[in-house]
């Protein structure tokens, strides 16, 4: 009986060898992460929360694709269970138990089923969003390991293993298993090792605590180099996070710029950051940037990443609308937008390499506190004829109405007029800052001009400190995000509400009595900076329901809504594409058959209303509510 | 080539904030195409020079001159000492204490030629000479070949300025200089400041009398020179071409036809 005894040693030994090989491969990878900048990481806390982050937060995203979710549960669960069980068989009592080997065989059988599910996504034809290359070998390695493992465990369970079959089965398992472990460095299995470490050392631990952790992190303007020029400028845990990318392509399906044929593909961007770090990285095998530009330039931790002759073309960088759709969809919890902004910061702050058309607005922001270069006193011009109280010199108010950039726009002025009239009707004690209100600096920050943002933030915080008010209400989700989430880092702590949430409060308190507009069909377009950045998707819908319109949802809505193309400075950067993002969004709205697209953001209003051949009207929630309130009179 | 760019304390036309004047930012961009320009500012504060460093300057010299004192003697002394081949300035002031006369006063003091309203600059093949494109208004350009040293003022049609880069502003160096002895005196030419007043615009060729309708016709081209145009419906291409040529010659865009010389 030397056969089975040898086998009970060799088989667990194989798993230990796999573990050792995987560890070596991770170690080689870690040498690259060490090139990154230092970052504070709460190791113990992260480790303790790893299971929860994986089982709750990651699963929540993975489960959006039911097939992938089941596939991953079966194959990863089976692989982990089978490998751990086999490794434990190094203990003689377990190795001698036939029932134990039946258990192991079952675990391997489950893995085998999962492996076929993995293979079915790639053969006979690969799903479009997936990457090819080394990922195409993965099903074979999995099947070899799982089938070899099942057979070996079965032989042990049956007490056989003396024949020719046992060495063959073990050889098959070894080929698959060691192959999988080897792939931890450059292949698909890297996502497992880097992904787990990434969940522990995530740069935004707040997003696992159930609150949206979406504020851009402030940049130290006295740092020796501003922003990221090369891979080594990223913190090490960001480099680690890019290695976690499993090339599933969910981001590229969600990306509005990719859909519009602008030269941005979030998956390719992350893979370019990975490949930029290491010259040994195998060639990218997924969908290219629209336009098909090939990667150029040097690679390595100190190689320049952005440039017409470098790995990533500047147009790719400036195509991003910072809508966070990719971040929302990423099952590996990668923060694409942080990477984009960090790269933009270097371009803008160190090289002055803003897109040509964005220079004017950013210059005016810096010099006049307003991206159109208009007089701050003209911000309230939209309210000509309305009684709009200005806070200056008053004894304090309940509500400070933050007007934002939309106030200068003639179309959006209508929305603000509706909002002011609603506030008047509800007898709200409110006022505006008037000429003291500067832009929040949102545009400058998204375009990487952190210096201008910080000086505007400090000026606004100083202004607000001179006044007494209860809370801030604004109709601009971009201003809301800056005031609520980004100003606290500079000492400004305010209660900030979006106008839809505030109007809902007024309706519920009985201060506004809407009449039902029965024969109106409405579809609501979620602004990225409200839904994804702040998780507010319910209040606008509740207001629409209070009006009684028939509400239809677009295919992509709520936190998974598609961007209108108006964020992140994309309208001023104006990178050419094959289509326009707002056209795509209006086509989605048209599919619902709704006559009105309800909006809640000045950027969305401008972008969607600018769509030619539009069948639906664009109306802000405030305008619809005013219409319904006034319908009874 | 040694290039000096004069940097003044401008005011933003809307917000009134102290800013680098756009023309000077454009001057920096033009100068950067020829070599590494040196910024020169005479005044009490160096903030504007710092902003200019963010828009393409690498080095700036700040001559400390108290508020209200004429900067021309101090600038002239420094320029006479450093002898740049090219001195660039904006063509007019932008708010603040500026008169827009500094480049002219400097050219006079230093006895240099001044080329105004330049929109493009390039080195010519012959060493030491420059090819300047001078704006004559309404898109017309005049190309001049010059040899330095000279003073050049920049026209707004020059290429847009570089974007401001905070990191470059932080990195650039500013050398504080004391004004040359005897140059910190005088308040410069006395100027009278009056608020802008809109003046009625005279319409050329409009009848002074007559009804409003007649004056409108004259202003919008229903009468007068513009009314003398000819309307051709579906003309023969040759005839149309002849008409267009004749019209272009009439308004002076094309030269009159050259007659073949008779031997």
Inspect the interface and report whether the beta carbons of A368 and B14 lie closer than 8 Å.
Answer: yes
Rounded distance between C-alpha atoms, residue B137 and residue B180, angstroms: 39
Does the pLDDT value for residue B81 go beyond 50? Answer: yes
Rounded distance between C-alpha atoms, residue B178 and residue A384, angstroms: 53
Residue A378 DSSP symbol? G
The pLDDT mean for chain A works out to 93
pLDDT of residue A1: 40
Inspect the interface and report whether the beta carbons of B163 and A367 lie closer than 8 Å.
Answer: no
Hey, which of A299-308, A339-348, A378-387, B142-151 has the most confident mean pLDDT?
Answer: A339-348
- Beta carbons within 8 Å of A224's beta carbon, 6+ residues apart: none
* Confidence tier at A276 by pLDDT (50, 70, 90): very high
* Confidence tier at B259 by pLDDT (50, 70, 90): low
Domain ranges of chain B: 3-178, 212-250
Nearest to B182 by CA among B45, B70, B41: B70
pLDDT of residue A440: 96
Give residue A149's Cα distance to chain centre.
38
Q: Of the given ranges (A618-632, B10-24, B63-77, B245-259), which has the lowest mean pLDDT?
A: B245-259
On whether the CB atoms of residues A343 and A312 are closer than 8 A, the answer is yes
Residues A429-456, mean pLDDT to the nearest whole number? 95
Does the pLDDT value for residue A74 go beyond 80? Answer: yes
Q: Please, what's the b/e burial string for A108-119 (b: 16 or more CB within 10 A of its CB; e: otherwise)?
A: bbbbbebbbbbb
Inspect the interface and report whether the beta carbons of A352 and B168 lie closer than 8 Å.
Answer: yes
Q: How many CB pairs under 8 A join A and B?
A: 57
Does the pLDDT value for residue A317 go beyond 70? Answer: yes
With contacts defined as CB-CB under 8 Å, which chain B residues touch A357?
none
> Which tens digit of pLDDT belongs to each residue from A417-436?
999 999 999 999 999 999 99
Q: Do domains A372-508 and A521-631 have the same CATH topology?
A: yes
Closest alpha carbon within chain B to A450 = B166
pLDDT of residue A573: 94
Half-sphere exposure of A593 (CA within 13 A, CB side): 1
What is the architecture of the domain spanning A372-508? 3-Layer(aba) Sandwich (3.40)
Cis peptide before B149 (omega within 30 of 0): yes
Residue among A363, A368, A370 minimizing CB distance to B164:
A363
- Beta carbons within 8 Å of A300's beta carbon, 6+ residues apart: A231, A276, A277, A278, A279
Q: Of the given ranges (A623-632, B76-85, B220-229), which has the lowest mean pLDDT?
A: B220-229
Nearest to A421 by CA among A515, A498, A517, A503: A503
With contacts defined as CB-CB under 8 Å, which chain A residues touch B56?
352
On whether the CB atoms of residues A503 and A512 are closer than 8 A, the answer is yes
Rounded distance between C-alpha atoms, residue A102 and residue A89, angstroms: 12
Inspect the interface and report whether the beta carbons of A348 and B163 lie closer than 8 Å.
Answer: yes
The CATH number of A521-631 is 3.40.50
**B3-178 maps to CATH 3.40.50.300:** no
Phi then psi for residue A619, to 5 deg, are -135, 135
Give me B229's structure tokens. 């145009």
| Alpha carbon distance, N-terminus to C-terminus of chain A | 96
Residues A1-11, mean pLDDT to the nearest whole number? 72
Residue with tokens 């028939």: A550
SS3 B209: coil
Give me A6's structure tokens. 């040898």
Domain ranges of chain A: 2-200, 372-508, 521-631
Inspect the interface and report whether the beta carbons of A367 and B15 lie closer than 8 Å.
Answer: yes
Residue among A225, A349, A373 minimizing CB distance to B165:
A349
Residues A347-355, mean pLDDT to the nearest whole number? 95
With contacts defined as CB-CB under 8 Å, which chain B residues touch A352?
54-56, 162-165, 168
Closest alpha carbon within chain A to B14 = A375
Give the rounded percent of residues in chain A with a pLDDT score beyond 90.
Answer: 88
């Amino acid at each position: 009986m030397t056969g089975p005894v040898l086998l009970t040693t060799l088989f667990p030994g194989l798993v230990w060898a796999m573990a050792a090989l995987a560890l070596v491969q991770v170690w080689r990878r870690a040498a690259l992460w060490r090139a990154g900048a230092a970052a504070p990481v709460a190791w113990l806390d992260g480790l303790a929360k790893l299971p929860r982050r994986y089982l709750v937060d990651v699963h929540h995203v993975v489960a959006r694709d039911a097939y992938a979710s089941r596939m991953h549960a079966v194959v990863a669960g089976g692989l982990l269970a089978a490998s751990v069980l086999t490794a434990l068989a190094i203990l003689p009592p377990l190795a001698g138990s036939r029932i134990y080997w039946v258990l192991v065989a079952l675990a391997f059988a489950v893995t085998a089923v999962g492996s076929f599910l993995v293979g079915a996504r790639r053969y006979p034809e690969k799903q479009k969003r997936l990457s090819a290359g080394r990922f195409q070998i993965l099903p074979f390695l999995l099947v070899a390991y799982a089938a070899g493992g099942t057979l070996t465990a079965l032989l042990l369970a049956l007490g056989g293993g003396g024949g020719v079959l046992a060495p063959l089965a073990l050889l098959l398992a070894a080929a698959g298993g060691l192959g999988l472990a080897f792939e931890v460095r450059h292949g698909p299995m890297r996502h497992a090792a880097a992904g787990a470490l990434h969940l522990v050392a995530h740069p935004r631990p707040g997003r696992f605590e159930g609150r949206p952790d979406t504020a851009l992190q402030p940049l130290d303007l006295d740092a020796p180099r501003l922003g990221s020029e090369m891979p080594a400028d990223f913190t090490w845990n960001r480099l680690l996070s890019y290695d976690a990318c499993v090339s599933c392509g969910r981001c590229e399906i969600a990306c509005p710029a990719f859909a519009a044929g602008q030269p941005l593909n979030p998956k390719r961007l992350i893979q370019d950051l990975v490949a930029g770090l290491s010259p040994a990285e195998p060639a990218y095998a997924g969908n290219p940037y629209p336009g098909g530009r090939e990667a150029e330039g040097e690679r390595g931790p100190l190689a320049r990443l952005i440039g017409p002759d470098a790995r990533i073309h500047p147009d790719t960088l400036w195509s991003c609308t910072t809508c966070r759709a990719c971040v929302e969809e990423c099952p590996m919890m990668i923060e694409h937008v942080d990477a984009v902004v960090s790269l933009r910061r270097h371009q803008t702050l160190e090289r002055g390499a803003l897109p040509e058309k964005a220079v004017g607005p950013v210059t005016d922001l810096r010099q006049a506190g307003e991206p159109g270069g208009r007089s701050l006193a003209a911000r309230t011009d939209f309210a000509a004829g309305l009684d709009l109280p200005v806070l200056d010199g008053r004894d304090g108010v309940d509500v400070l109405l933050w007007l934002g950039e939309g106030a200068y726009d003639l179309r959006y002025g209508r929305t603000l007029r509706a909002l002011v009239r609603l506030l008047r009707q509800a007898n709200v004690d409110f006022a505006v800052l008037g000429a003291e209100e500067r832009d929040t600096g949102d545009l400058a920050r998204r375009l990487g001009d952190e210096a201008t943002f910080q000086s505007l933030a400090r000026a606004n915080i100083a202004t607000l400190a001179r006044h007494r008010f209860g809370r801030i209400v604004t109709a601009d989700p971009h201003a809301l995000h800056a005031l609520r989430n980004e100003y606290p880092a500079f000492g400004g702590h305010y209660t900030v509400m979006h106008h839809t949430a505030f109007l809902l409060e007024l309706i519920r308190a009985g201060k506004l009595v809407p009449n039902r507009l029965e024969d109106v069909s409405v579809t609501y377009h979620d602004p990225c900076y409200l839904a994804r950045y702040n998780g507010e998707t319910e209040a606008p819908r509740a207001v629409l329901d209070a009006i009684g319109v028939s509400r239809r949802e677009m295919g992509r809505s709520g936190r998974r809504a598609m961007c209108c193309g108006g964020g992140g400075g994309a309208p001023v950067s104006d990178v050419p594409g094959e289509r326009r993002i707002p056209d795509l969004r209006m086509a989605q709205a048209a599919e619902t058959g709704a006559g009105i697209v309800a909006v809640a953001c000045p950027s969305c209003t401008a972008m969607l209303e600018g769509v030619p051949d539009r069948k639906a009207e664009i109306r802000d929630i405030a305008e619809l509510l005013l219409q319904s309130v006034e319908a009874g009179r | 080539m040694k290039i000096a760019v004069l940097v003044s304390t401008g005011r933003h036309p809307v917000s009134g904030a102290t800013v680098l004047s756009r023309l000077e930012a454009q001057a920096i961009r033009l100068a950067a195409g020829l070599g590494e320009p040196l910024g020169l500012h005479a005044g009490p504060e160096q903030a504007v020079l710092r902003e200019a460093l963010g828009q393409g300057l690498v080095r700036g010299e700040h001559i400390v001159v108290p508020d209200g004192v004429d900067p021309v003697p101090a600038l002239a002394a420094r320029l006479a000492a450093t002898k740049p081949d090219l001195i660039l300035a904006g063509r007019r002031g932008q708010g603040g204490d500026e008169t827009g006369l500094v480049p002219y006063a400097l050219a006079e003091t230093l006895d240099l030629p001044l080329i105004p309203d330049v929109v493009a600059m390039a080195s010519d093949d012959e060493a030491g000479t420059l090819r300047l494109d001078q704006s004559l208004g309404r898109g017309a350009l005049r190309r001049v070949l010059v040899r330095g040293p000279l003073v050049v003022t920049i026209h707004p049609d020059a290429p847009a300025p570089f974007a401001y880069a905070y990191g470059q502003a932080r990195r650039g160096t500013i050398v504080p200089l004391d004004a040359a002895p005897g140059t910190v005196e005088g308040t410069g030419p006395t100027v009278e400041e009056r608020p802008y007043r809109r003046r009625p615009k005279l319409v050329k060729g409009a009848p002074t009398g007559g009804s409003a309708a007649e004056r409108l016709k004259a202003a919008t081209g229903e009468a007068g020179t513009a009314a003398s145009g000819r309307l051709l419906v579906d003309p023969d291409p040759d005839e149309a071409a002849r008409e267009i040529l004749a019209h272009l010659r009439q308004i002076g865009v094309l030269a009159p036809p050259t007659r073949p010389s008779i031997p």
